[in-house]
């Protein structure tokens, strides 16, 4: 089902800056929701009247955990609102990295999230979900939008000569960015020891005197990025920039990332490093659905 004439945007508290940008890109009204907490920390959400018969875009990143719960409550509130359709946009889809059972008995956490989200949603949009397998957990329409063009714009403005993926999984992102910018790209091989520790294989790179961007989907502890930066510095890169779509920056990440000359993230997760917006890419995806 396409969108009618009147599309309204509803933002959860995790995604207000991006929702405002998207509202401007699409010339669509942004509806304010009421959010508060009870004394015991339980969440309260209320959507105002006036969404009857409307096509709605509900935007909420699901990090940290309480934002996931807020999304579920907002969906429930909207389910009785008389809306015409609901498209749920999850810019950062948390639990995307637990997209399969790595050991017997584990939850497939991203499937658990998908099963709840799709109950009240006609379709779902994500941005650079960690693995596309996650999309298969939705029985209905689920599409992933690439935010890599946004990072490419930033790198191009900042004279980046080469793009490097810090692990094999991110090599597809480095390829997209490198191809868009028409600069060379390469990748490293990483072994994850635990949540906090990674080992990256040294590899000869042609980076002497170059301004290099390291690109990944997520920066969490910053360990992956820092390990790549040390290799680049040892091999004579002139400057190194850390670029990611989703910047979580947990547990001392800022200290670890001091090896970088610059750090850039998008606004899928708001932080002081959200220097580029994925709103143009998201708006284009929404227009394609119209
Ligand atoms: C994992 O494969 C992801 O793409 C990132 O490389 C990872 O989440 C980064 O984590 P950290 O910043 O903690 O090294």
Task: Write the pLDDT tens digit of every residue in 11-29.
Answer: 999 999 999 999 999 999 9
DSSP 110: H
d(CA 290, CA 2): 5
Indicate which residue's Cα is closest to atom 2 of ligand 1.
Answer: 169
Active-site positions? 190
**How much distance in Å is there from the Cα of 254 to the middle of ligand 1?**
14
pLDDT for res 38: 98
Distance 271 CA to ligand 1 centre (A): 17
Which pLDDT score, from 0 to 100, does residue 4 have?
67
pLDDT of residue 1: 58
Distance from the CA of 158 to the center of ligand 1, in angstroms? 24
Q: Is residue 221 within 8 Å of 196, Cβ to Cβ?
A: yes
Long-range CB pairs of 72-79, under 8 A, 24+ apart, other chains included: 72/116, 72/117, 73/43, 73/45, 74/10, 74/12, 74/33, 74/45, 74/47, 75/117, 75/119, 75/120, 75/121, 76/120, 77/33, 77/45, 77/46, 77/47, 78/10, 78/47, 78/51, 78/120, 79/120
Ligand 1 atom with least separation from CA of 196: 13
Strands, E assignment, 99-148: 123-127, 141-145
Q: Which residues contact 217 (CB under 8 A, 6 or more apart)?
A: 128, 130, 170, 173, 244, 245, 246
Which pLDDT tens digit goes with each residue over 165-188? 999 999 999 999 999 999 999 999
Per DSSP, the three-state class of 270 is coil
Residue 288, token pair as written in the block: 């394609």
Q: Return the pLDDT at 288.
A: 94
> For residue 6, what pLDDT is reported?
83
pLDDT of residue 50: 87
Sequence-separated (6 or more) residues with CB below 8 Å from residue 25: 279, 280, 282, 283
C-alpha distance across the termini of the chain, in Å: 8
Which residues, at least 6 apart from 241, have a Cβ–Cβ distance to it below 8 Å?
155, 158, 160, 211, 212, 213, 214, 260, 261, 262, 263, 264
Main-chain dihedrals φ then ψ at residue 253, nearest 5 degrees: -60, -40
The model's pTM is 0.96
The tokens of 213 are what?
A: 């961007």
Residues of the chain falling short of pLDDT 70:
1-2, 4
Residue from 110, 218, 254 to probe ligand 1 pocket by mutation (most atoms less than 8 Å from CB): 218
- Token pair 């009618």 is found at 4
For the CA of 198, the closest atom of ligand 1 is 14
* Ligand 1-lining residues (CB < 6 angstroms): 167, 169-170, 198, 216-224
């Amino acid at each position: 089902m396409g969108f009618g004439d009147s599309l309204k945007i509803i933002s959860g508290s995790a995604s207000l800056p991006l929702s405002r940008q998207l509202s401007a890109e699409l010339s669509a009204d942004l509806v304010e929701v009421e959010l508060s907490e009870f004394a015991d920390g339980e969440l309260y959400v209320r959507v105002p009247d006036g969404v009857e018969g409307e096509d709605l875009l509900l935007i909420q990143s699901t990090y940290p955990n309480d934002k996931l719960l807020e999304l579920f409550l907002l969906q429930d509130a909207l389910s009785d609102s008389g809306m015409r359709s609901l498209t749920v946009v999850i810019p950062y889809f948390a639990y995307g990295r637990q997209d399969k059972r790595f050991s017997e008995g584990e939850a497939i956490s991203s499937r658990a999230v998908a099963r709840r989200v799709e109950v009240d949603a006609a379709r779902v949009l994500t941005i650079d979900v960690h693995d596309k397998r996650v999309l298969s957990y939705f029985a209905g329409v689920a599409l992933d939008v690439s935010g890599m063009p946004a990072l490419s714009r930033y790198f191009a403005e900042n004279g980046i000569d080469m793009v490097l993926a810090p692990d094999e999984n991110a090599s597809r992102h480095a390829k997209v960015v490198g191809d868009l910018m028409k600069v060379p790209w390469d990748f490293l091989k990483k072994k994850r020891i635990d949540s906090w520790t990674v080992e990256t294989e040294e590899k000869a790179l042609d980076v002497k005197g170059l301004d290099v961007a390291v690109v990944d989907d997520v920066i969490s502890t910053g360990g992956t990025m820092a390990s790549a930066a040390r290799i680049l510095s040892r091999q004579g890169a002139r400057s190194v920039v850390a670029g990611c779509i989703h910047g979580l920056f947990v547990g001392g990440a800022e200290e670890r990332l001091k090896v970088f000359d610059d750090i850039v993230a998008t606004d899928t997760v708001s932080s002081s490093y959200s220097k580029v917006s994925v709103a143009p890419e998201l708006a284009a995806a929404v227009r394609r659905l119209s």
